[in-house]
Chain A
Amino acid sequence: MSEMWINMGPQHPMTHGLWNLRVRIDGERILDVDPEMGYLHRGIEKISEDRHYNEVITLMDRTCYVAGIAWEHLYVQAAEKALGIAPTERSDWIRMMSEEFQRLASHIMWYAAFVQDLGLMSPFLYGMRDRDLILDLFQSYTGGRLTYEYMRVGGVRNDVPEGFTHRAREVLDWLEPRFVEYDRLCMGSDIFRRRCDDLGVLKANDCVRLGVTGPMLRSAGSKRDLRKDRPYSRYSQVEFDVATADSADVTGRYLVRMEEMRQSVRILRQVLDWLDSHPGPVLADHLPRWLGAPYAPIGREAYLLKRNYPKGVGLSAIEEPHGEACAYVVNEGGEHPYRVKFRSPVFANLSAAHHYLVGYHVADIPPIMGSVDVCVGEVDR
């Protein structure tokens, strides 16, 4: 067969979202790839310029639909720095707990989709089953299962309900043995190892050069994890290890994510203990009224607003489930942010697609792209 281009996407089972991987193949071998993005571009950065600070949070849930609360966390941190507002201590812990639960949910979702791409059918259902428990927890304190709109500039919307920590611990107790099952189905399978070992290799120096972060980078041996290296929220007060692997291949990324889930459980237990013993307010006092939804200050209030709330620029960076995410919020006074810019980890990871796909087989594309954990919502924004 001669060379040909095939479009894997935008409607293709491999893509998990709406994007197009154009692949030039010779028989089954990949000669060139060209990811085409933009099918899901909603212009979140532009819409944000027309929104009140708290209204942007709604958009953040839509940025990455499997890690919504992590993006809320990213945004509110940047917005708080830009506005000069500090969150209350308890709300900060709740945010950290939310982010870790989201990491668990996102990684379990990743596991389900990834094994499905390999043709392993049952674990997909196991993953969805276990993720549902976490979504139930989210529902019990945010009201949402996928789009939460929970965090606020200066804190979170509401405290966790009565008995929440107990239920959360039950979920964690259920999840921990499940990870062993997951592992047995994958690492215990010879076919899985044959499919995934030495596949999609991207060494650490290439990762750094190409801006690849997150589990992909850590699977290559690097220990960069913003939760450790540049602790935000209350991550400096909890104990956890950074998961790494050496193989820099699909198996390595699998192992890193599996270990991260265990570490998330470890963090969550500490956070739940803290929440039990430290009641307190979850929203800062004296927040400007115009942070919230449709309230346009006029007259004297508008004048005070311009005078009292100095301009500022906020930069925040978190270790999102997919990697390093940054937000850059410019406050030029007024009730809307002047400019919001996000760094999506998957955006950078995908831009290196050429380097970890070329030379492998067509059949390797789903596991490799699965191990990248593509979330198109945050690439296109």
Chain B
Amino acid sequence: MNPEDVRTKLAAAGAPGIISIEPFEGVAARVKFDPTAATALFPIVRDALGFPHLSMVGGIDWVERYEVFYLVWSDPAKTYLLLSADLDAKAPHIETASACWPSANWHEREAWELVGIQFDHHPDLRHLLMPDGYQFHPLQRAFKLHEPEDLEVKVRHV
């Protein structure tokens, strides 16, 4: 599967919000899409393109914007596909993928707490790796290591 295949298949399925489809080493293609079209695009990628397995969801802080990327895998085509969307720097948010790929659940929780991307309609957006009540997003560029920080966090008692 190459970027042209991806383009034709996406067009045939009427996928909305595609910004660009470019080659990327190691995967079939990198598809840049408009985050507002996520709800409609994800099921198309899963069913029409045949990528039922979501490998990972990650966020990158580019300072002037955020990027969220999804790595999905197709068993018959034996290849990955990279989806990526640019998010607003002020209030980065995107529709959750966990309705389409349930495996996105924890990946999105992680991206939310570490990078600070809000996933709308996520079923269970709690802290995963950080303690409850943790105020910071460590993987943002503004979060510097070696800086004293207020570690007064509320720990839940169960």
Contact = CB atoms under 8 A, between A and B. Distances in A.
Nearest to A229: B78
A80 to B, nearest CB: 11
Contacts of A356: none
Contact of B58 (A47, A316, A328, A348): A328
Interface in B137-158: 138-139, 143, 145, 158
Interface of A: 5, 7, 22, 37-38, 41, 43, 45-47, 50, 81, 208-213, 222, 224, 229-230, 313-317, 324, 326, 328, 330, 338-339, 341, 343, 347-348, 350-352, 380-381
Interface of B: 24-27, 52-56, 58, 60-61, 69, 71, 73, 75, 78-80, 82, 101-107, 114, 127-131, 138-139, 143, 145, 158
Contacts of B143: 46
Nearest 6 interchain pairs by C-beta: A211-B103, A343-B56, A351-B106, A341-B58, A38-B129, A41-B129
A316 B71 contact: no
A315 B80 contact: yes
Contact of B130 (A7, A38, A50, A317): A38
B138 A46 contact: yes
A209 B78 CA distance: 17
A209 B114 CA distance: 24
Nearest to A222: B75
Given A81-B26, A209-B101, A380-B129, 6 more contacts: A45-B139, A211-B55, A224-B75, A339-B61, A348-B103, A351-B105
A192 B130 CA distance: 38
B125 to A, nearest CB: 14
Contact of B24 (A224, A313, A317, A341): A313
B127 A328 contact: no
Nearest to B53: A208
B102 A230 contact: no
A222 B53 CA distance: 13
Contacts of B73: 324
